[in-house]
């Protein structure tokens, strides 16, 4: 489906200096990929973006954590420390049965760690054949929980989401995280609300249909930021990174790179907008620091 609607209000990243680099902010209805190595500051940028929803839309954004090795990305700690935001969590081990799903049961949640306590790795090669078959069945159950999480929040005014925890692989096309992301992006985030409701309620859709129409939302106003961990640490290496089939960077409307830079005998961090389709943007490489108040871009 198409990207941002004509005249749509841009979505602030929560960082005024970055908004300025982006010509006013991110375009709703599009995908933004923030790429960089572990620890560079991607999750904090994501928390800034999600928190900015409270001012712009009256609802903070949601965090969908795809980390599959049993840990998380410290989103809750960052949210509390930076903004006094106590996240309301959706448990990741809940099974959503379409035969027993009702719109009246929908609750507002800020965070879902979809692979909580799973302890899996990220590629097909990490699992034996039988393990992979079992994992695929488990993924089907996870999809229903993902639909429940996104749909429930969007019906209550959320218009931005952050997807975190996507880990590097030698071949992106081998990663089940990318398979799951592709489903979420095309079958949930870029789909009309009533069709998402059909996928969620299934045989109960007719019973819920009237209430579904009382809770509409326009998916073209939803902004998605994907935080993508790379092998590359240096910004120069990210700038020269080749793309291959299955790489989410190929389909992103906006690409923001975060990497280390060398200044004489010192190392620093810099951010660069590598792509911002449909908008003017600043091509500068801008230094930034990670502080107790979050990310600070430096002039």
Res 132: pLDDT: 72
Rounded mean pLDDT of the chain?
A: 89
For residues 162 and 47, give the distance between their C-alpha atoms in angstroms, rounded to a whole number. 8
- pLDDT tens digits, 209-235: 999 999 999 999 999 999 999 999 999
For the cut 50, the answer to whether the pLDDT of residue 79 exceeds it is: yes
CA contacts within 13 A on the Cβ side of 252? 24
Is the C-alpha dihedral spanning 256, 166, 31, 114 positive or negative?
A: negative
CB 106 within 8 A of CB 197: no
Q: Please report, rounded to a whole number, the percentage of residues in the chain having pLDDT higher than 70.
A: 91
Res 4: pLDDT: 47
Q: Which residue has the higher pLDDT, 176 or 217?
A: 217
Q: Rounding to the nearest 10 degrees, give the CA dihedral for residues 213, 216, 219, 224.
A: -130
Reported confidence tier of residue 8, pLDDT bands at 50, 70, 90: low
| Domain boundary assignment for the chain | 16-264+274-297
Q: 213: closest CA among 192, 194, 198?
A: 194
- pLDDT tens digits, 257-285: 999 999 889 999 999 999 999 999 999 99
Res 60: pLDDT: 98
Average pLDDT over every residue of 132-138: 76
Characterize the bridge pairing of strands 111-113 and 160-166.
Answer: unpaired
For residues 298 and 270, give the distance between their C-alpha atoms in angstroms, rounded to a whole number. 9
State the first-to-last Cα distance of the chain, in angstroms, to the nearest integer: 38
Which residues are bridge partners to 290 per DSSP? 295
Res 3: pLDDT: 43
Reported confidence tier of residue 7, pLDDT bands at 50, 70, 90: very low
Reported confidence tier of residue 117, pLDDT bands at 50, 70, 90: low
Residue with tokens 């049961």: 105
CATH of span 16-264+274-297: 3.40.50.300
């Amino acid at each position: 489906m198409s990207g941002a609607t004509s005249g749509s209000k841009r979505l602030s990243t929560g960082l005024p200096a970055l908004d300025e680099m982006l010509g006013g902010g991110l375009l709703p209805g599009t995908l933004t990929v923030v790429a960089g190595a572990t620890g560079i500051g991607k999750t904090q940028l994501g928390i800034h973006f999600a928190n900015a929803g409270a001012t712009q839309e009256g609802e903070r954004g949601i965090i969908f954590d795809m980390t599959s090795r049993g840990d998380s990305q410290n989103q809750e700690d960052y949210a509390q420390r930076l903004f006094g935001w106590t996240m309301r969590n959706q448990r990741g081990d809940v099974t959503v049965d379409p035969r027993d799903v009702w719109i009246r049961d929908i609750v507002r949640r800020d965070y879902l760690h979809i692979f909580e306590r799973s302890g899996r790795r990220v590629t097909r090669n990490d699992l034996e054949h039988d393990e992979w078959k079992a994992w695929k069945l488990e993924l089907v159950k996870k999809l229903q929980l993902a639909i429940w999480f996104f749909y429930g929040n969007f019906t209550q005014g959320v218009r931005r989401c952050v997807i975190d925890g996507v880990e590097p692989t030698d071949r992106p096309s081998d990663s089940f995280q990318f398979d799951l992301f592709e489903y979420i992006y095309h079958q949930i985030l870029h789909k009309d609300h009533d069709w998402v409701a059909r996928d969620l309620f299934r045989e109960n859709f007719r019973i819920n249909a009237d209430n579904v129409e009382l809770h509409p939302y326009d998916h073209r106003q939803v902004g998605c930021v994907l935080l993508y961990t790379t092998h590359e640490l240096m910004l120069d290496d990210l700038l020269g990174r080749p793309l291959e089939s299955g790489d989410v960077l190929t389909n992103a409307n906006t690409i923001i790179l975060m990497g280390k830079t060398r200044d004489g005998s010192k190392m620093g961090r810099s951010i660069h907008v590598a792509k911002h389709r449909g908008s003017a943007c600043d091509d500068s490489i801008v230094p930034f620091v990670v502080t107790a108040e979050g990310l600070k871009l430096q002039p």
